[in-house]
Structure 1
């Protein structure tokens, strides 16, 4: 389709020569460059929220993986970028001197506008362990839909603030089933290496792994996998493994060894706040506005787009509403945020030319959690690092990859916990509900049974080999599988369906999707490296070719 045919109402032509001038050589860099030099900018980097009536050359909605890639590469190409983020900046310590709270002692910083925690492991020995908290714009959103709870990061850095950091590149042989319209050679030769270098992905030192008390739980997982004939594979992570060894030695403040992860990590994890975002800010072309929620995008009479947004306080109340204009708008609010916003904009008439594929193709990456009770001679350790470093691979034979996850309670539990990614093919759709004025998701909890069956291909065999049983006290009363959640939402604006093959939204010129909404429901592994690599690929093409 030509650029002219793609152009919607209220938009301007952009030459094929480029998004704007000066786009050439910067995109050839495999890694970020200049990150350390940008540290000095940290104190003031979020101090100037976007003003009412402002104009942006490029407006990026969201500061997760896709949005951060887009902002950096646009800025390096000479484009001025405004990023807006619904969550907080997470750059100011609380009364305890820490920015983030721990897994075992959650407070108001833990959850997005909830009055009670909603942990994935929310029972222990059959007793509920969720606790009351004060309502606050905390770092983890447990967004509830019919049949599923979707966990998402809220704050500058998006999901990178709250995930386990497992930076996994899918096996090459599985890629055609993940993104069939994308050239695999380009991804594996250029964009996956570029993403991994920029994210700082690295594998744990196997010698330290074999000897430290903090990974006894993972060594038990490796041993039991091997005895049942499954390969245990180390996978890269974006935690600073040298820092963790220093934590173990007692020479730096503890972070992963102090039960920090799901509600943020204060020191060792290389979230986007330590990689892409400071590099983007160091260009001097990027401004970030936290606690800003976009409510509308529509064609502006003179070209470009009118964007409405609400500025929030830390109780979630609207402080003020703003109207700005932007030449280009990049939707990077995460799979759920982007999909919900686009469906509402289409079906309420603000962006009516969006096609019927918007809202479709959403999946849970096959996420299933389970616990097993080990024999007394296989203790998993009272010391457990919160960062997973390996998993059990039965994807080819059974459709499941199982991350050996920590259960950092501070006591010996003789329990092994796993987060499985399964080849669940069910896909849901986001739809606008005119009665409730909300976006619904058609996911059905019964669809998780396919994922459970695939996960059982691993754990039934391990239990049989070890003479062990499933734990039924971690997710409820006599509940074996946590089949009510996902950490890895994907899809809703699938590439080459809702968009062209580089994320340009069909029906409009100058509107783009650049996050996990592009990926149709499953990446076979933890998805953020694929989201990052795909964003690197797409923004390079958008800058070079316009549209």
Structure 2
């Protein structure tokens, strides 16, 4: 952590163990290993490479989030966002865009390399984190392990016993997963909203389940007691948490830099990859400043290349490489098998006596679990909606077993990589979520909220996802350990390996799969 803190304070663009002693690491043009991206898969790869004594450079397009702004905080508030909130936008793009149909949620801001991005494609947009730590900086921290039978269904060639006996526990331990004290949950007003949703689900004969989180619940109880600075109890989440959250910069990245073998280069986006005659990989990256201007185009080379840029970043990079001829031997499965994890968001209106509370903790701890319903499998996260006043709204993120998948394609005319997702594919998730919540509304004599997702009275927000998955599916675009087919010493370690759906929040699965990949790669591919 000292390296990250000192680097941020001094404005370093490159961070390594030397940063703890106020020395910026030398620029490195080549290294034995390069990791692209600093989200879950990239963090695992870098840590395990560093521990193995392999000098590793990490290229991250976002910034290091460890420098306080003029308000004394690293991240801005959700209710009063500023330039730190979003990646080069002039206005925020929050998922919940309205209240009483009024445009009161989003705010005008100045363009800046902010922490949250909403990447737009035709008919679908994707929320991603930008910075050292990737999505861990902006997600709700729900650290859920999928049902073993569904994992086996999605990954039939992976040893599930090994995953659940070794790699899931390893991932949870490193991520700092913990659970809320049930007694405190039942007594605190901060989770009244979850208890109200639990009651409504129970009235419909549905079961709920506690889910673990990477937010420190001991710290949260101190927040409630007034003995710690509030973060989750101050409405912080989608634009970052200033306290309490065990994001990757505090776990995997702190450990990776501590090996002395890992250096992170920030504000550098890899735009092309090819292979040299000697078998090394050559990367072209643009380095930007805080205005978004390209200040330098750099080239890097490495023997081992690990792709951890997320479902979008990794897939776009490889589709472009294949279709422009820089990595022509990539197979046709690259770019395929992409899905939204069945995401759709909705709100319900409760009766006046079923209050949700003026204050809501921003870390979800409970879900409606109807995944075992083979006719309509849905897991619905009971989401917070902190507004500072009683609003009687129950908000949910439904994860449905949507079988629809899409592919990325390269458009040579524009040079862009496009996603072929259609409204009809989103409608499958909406239909499944509606079946579940129609049951809840019928049992409780309640209705949906029509005012939360813009001026068109839209009930189900089906045009964005928090959980982009697939594009380089394990066993298809890669072998069963993330080795990219057609090229040796090229690996995928991120969410693009997951075939479009995993039934729960996916980051623990992504982390565990990356741990499994790195254990095999270090044993077989990099051994002397």
List per-residue Cα deviations over 1:190-216 (Å, max 9, x = no partner): 001111111111111011111111100
> SS of the residue aligned with 1:369?
strand
User: Structure 2 CA distance, aligned partners of 1:177 and 1:521?
Assistant: 12
Aligned match of 2:472 in 483, 493, 504?
493
* SS state at 1:362 partner: strand
Q: Deviations over 1:56-108 (max 9, x none)?
A: 11100000000000100111111111111000101111111111012111111
Q: CA deviation at 1:127?
A: 0.9
2:341 matched residue in structure 1: 365
Q: 1:530 aligns with which of 504, 509, 527?
A: 509
Offset at 1:456? 1.9
**Structure 2 equivalent of residue 209 of structure 1:** 185
Q: Is contact 2:3–2:257 with CA below 8 Å preserved after alignment? A: no
Equivalent residue pairs, number:
510
Aligned to 1:541: 520
* Candidates 211, 219, 226, aligned match of 1:250: 226
Distance 1:55 1:63 in 2: 18
Residue 101 of structure 2 is aligned to residue 126 of structure 1:
yes
- Structure 2 residue corresponding to 1:433, chosen from 389, 411, 430: 411
In 2, Cα distance between equivalents of 1:171 and 1:243: 29
Structure 2: any 5+ residue segments left out of the alignment? Answer: 15-24
Partner of 1:75: 50
How far is the alpha carbon of 1:510 from its aligned partner? 1.2
Q: 1:106 and 2:81 equivalent?
A: yes
- 1:454 to 2:432 alignment: yes
Q: 2:490 maps to what in 1? A: 511
In 2, the alpha carbon distance for the partners of 1:177 and 1:314 equals: 44
TM-score by length of 2: 0.95
2:520 and 2:420 map into 1 onto residues whose CA distance is 33
Alpha-carbon separation, structure 1, partners of 2:288 and 2:523 = 36
1:470 aligns with 2:448: yes
* 1:52 and 1:323 in contact (8 A); partners too: no
Write the mapping of 1:296-375 to structure 2, written as runs, cut at 5 A. Answer: 296-375=272-351
Kept in 2, the 8 Å contact 1:382–1:410? The answer is yes
- 1:14 aligns with none
Instruction: Indicate how the Cα distance of structure 1 residues 349 and 500 shifts in structure 2: closer, same or farther if over 3 A, else same.
Output: same
| Aligned positions of 1:90-239 closer than 5 A | 90-129=65-104, 130-239=106-215
Q: What does residue 62 of structure 1 align with?
A: 37
The equivalent of 2:499 in structure 1 is 520
Secondary structure of 1:536 counterpart? helix
Q: 1:222, CA displacement in angstroms? A: 1.1
Please tell me whether residue 84 in structure 1 is matched to residue 59 in structure 2: yes
Distance 2:202 2:28 in 1: 61
Identify if the C-alpha distance between structure 1 residues 272 and 52 changes in structure 2 by more than 3 Å, giving closer, same or farther: closer
Q: Take 2:272 and 2:427, find their aligned partners in 1: how far apart are those partners?
A: 37
5+ residue gaps, structure 1, are 1-37
Aligned position for 2:461: 482
TM-score, normalised to structure 1, is 0.91
Aligned-pair CA distance for 1:39: 4.0
Tell me how far 1:317 sits from its aligned partner: 1.1
Please state how far the C-alpha of 1:51 moved relative to its aligned partner.
6.3
Confirm or deny: 8 A CA contact 1:115 1:135 kept in the other structure.
yes
Q: Deviations over 1:104-150 (max 9, x none)?
A: 11111111111111111001001123221111110011000000110
In the TM superposition, residue 252 of structure 1 has moved relative to its aligned partner by: 1.1
